[in-house]
Amino acid sequence: GQQLNQSPQSMFIQEGEDVSMNCTSSSIFNTWLWYKQEPGEGPVLLIALYKAGELTSNGRLTAQFGITRKDSFLNISASIPSDVGIYFCAGPYNQGGKLIFGQGTELSVKP
């Protein structure tokens, strides 16, 4: 079945540094979604990507839909303490809106 491999698993960075994480799939996706989950909360959608090669920004966040349609990247520039959380990539599988999630990247930001 389809799998999403997300890396790195965790990151410990200094405030102000840039962050990059990626997600790869064993098969093609038509949509890539990036979520952030903070402790005690559900995932919140950050960026949605719909077209191969698409580059989309949301404030300091930028995500790209890989040309092969089997990967996606999320970058965070000039990190701040409130960026702390777990970031998940996700994509729809089969039909009917079901999502498969990557393993998550846990981000820690040291002030």
Partner 1 sequence: SAVISQKPSRDICQRGTSLTIQCQVDSQVTMMFWYRQQPGQSLTLIATANQGSEATYESGFVIDKFPISRPNLTFSTLTVSNMSPEDSSIYLCSALGGPGHGSTEAFFGQGTRLTVV
Single out the residue of 11, 23, 33, 107 in contact with partner 1 (rule: CB under 8 A).
33
Does residue number 96 form part of the binding site for partner 1 (CB under 8 A)? yes
Q: Which is nearer to partner 1, 44 or 78 (CB)?
A: 44
Neighbours of 17 (CB within 10 A): 13
* Residue 45 and residue 52 in contact, taking contact as beta carbons nearer than 8 Å: no
d(CA 39, CA 47): 20
Does residue number 101 form part of the binding site for partner 1 (CB under 8 A)? yes
Report DSSP state, residue 83.
Answer: G
Q: Which is nearer to partner 1, 42 or 111 (CB)?
A: 42
* Three-class SS state of 82: helix
d(CA 47, CA 12): 22
Does residue number 103 form part of the binding site for partner 1 (CB under 8 A)? yes
Does residue number 111 form part of the binding site for partner 1 (CB under 8 A)? no
Site residues (CB under 8 A) for partner 1?
31, 33, 40-45, 48, 50, 88, 90, 92, 96-104
